[in-house]
Amino acid sequence: MTAGQPFAEWMKAVQSGIEHALDGFLPPVSEAPARLHAAMRYAVLDGGKRVRPLLVYGAGELFGADSAVLARAAAAVEMIHAYSLVHDDMPCMDDDALRRGKPTVHVEFDEATALLVGDALQSQAFQVLSEGETLADPERQLAMLRLLARAAGAGGMCGGQAIDLASVGLTLALGELERMHQLKTGALLRASVLLGALAGKRLEAAEVAALEAYAEAVGLAFQVVDDVLDATADSATLGKTAGKDAADNKPTYVSILGLAESKALAEKLRDDAHRAVVPFGEKARRLREIADLVVQRKA
């Protein structure tokens, strides 16, 4: 991957590289328990846009991070994301049968296996991030582990999911909806950005502030676009069940703001993301391009 590489080529290279890394970091089906390992691989491999790994690599380029460390950080955050999808799709949560264009894990395997897949992927993520190519700075590596743990827990992704489940059928104010998604979606996207940056160096306060402002804008834009697509695209395009938020009576940006205003908000958030990384100059090119990808995506 080179700095002058067109974004589409850079993105494809990152996606291909992280697929290879994940394949190596996941336990093989040749080892027992084979069914659990097969289900873990089914949940993680051959699917998804890999937005979080893209953010890891995009931020890593700002500070010349080592590619081996970036691979571990990107794989760890993608395993956390994949585990959350497996649990999110289960009957006790959103009860969905389609994810990434194929049957969800509990449908393809069974509910007990799906539960274990999520548990195992979460543990595997921290194993991957703590082993192998270690940083010269142990404090920085510990900071990366702490960052991922906080993003995945009650103060991040899990907390946001709890609020989401408790909000079904309720009318939320815009600020309440935003707070829910800052936790459910935004926390892991923020962690992706900061993990990539920390793979390169210890961060100054001003650098953290700029990256957090970028991540907050991208995280909210991602959810706004998700809500727009859920209301406008079909299941074949999305790779998951379309219209499910409305069917489940969930509060969304579209239900609160309407379609046109939601699209306008996504564009504003993209502009906010671009402005946040101005201090980094041309080195932030990939982060700007990822913000464009998030807002312009069709699935």
pLDDT in tens, 127-175: 999 997 667 788 999 999 999 999 999 999 999 999 999 998 888 899 9
CATH label of the domain that carries residue 26:
1.10.600.10
Domain presence at residue 298: no
- CA pair distance 129, 146, nearest whole angstrom: 11
The three-state secondary structure class of 61 is: helix
pLDDT in tens, 181-209: 999 999 999 999 999 999 999 999 999 99
Domain presence at residue 73: yes
The encoded tokens of residue 128 equal 């991957």
Domain presence at residue 2: no
Domain presence at residue 69: yes
pLDDT in tens, 215-258: 999 999 999 999 999 888 887 777 767 677 776 788 899 999 99
Domain presence at residue 205: yes
Q: How does the average pLDDT of the chain come out, rounded?
A: 93
Domain presence at residue 1: no
Is the model's pLDDT at 26 over the cut of 90?
A: yes
Which H or E run contains 265? helix 259-276
Is the model's pLDDT at 81 over the cut of 90?
A: yes
Domain presence at residue 297: no
Smallest Cα–Cα separation from 93: which of 74, 114, 78?
114
Structural domains of the chain, count: 1
pLDDT-above-70 percentage for the chain: 96
* Entry pTM: 0.95
Domain presence at residue 204: yes
How much of the chain is helix, strand and coil, in % rounded to 5? 75, 0, 25
Domain containing 44: what range?
7-292
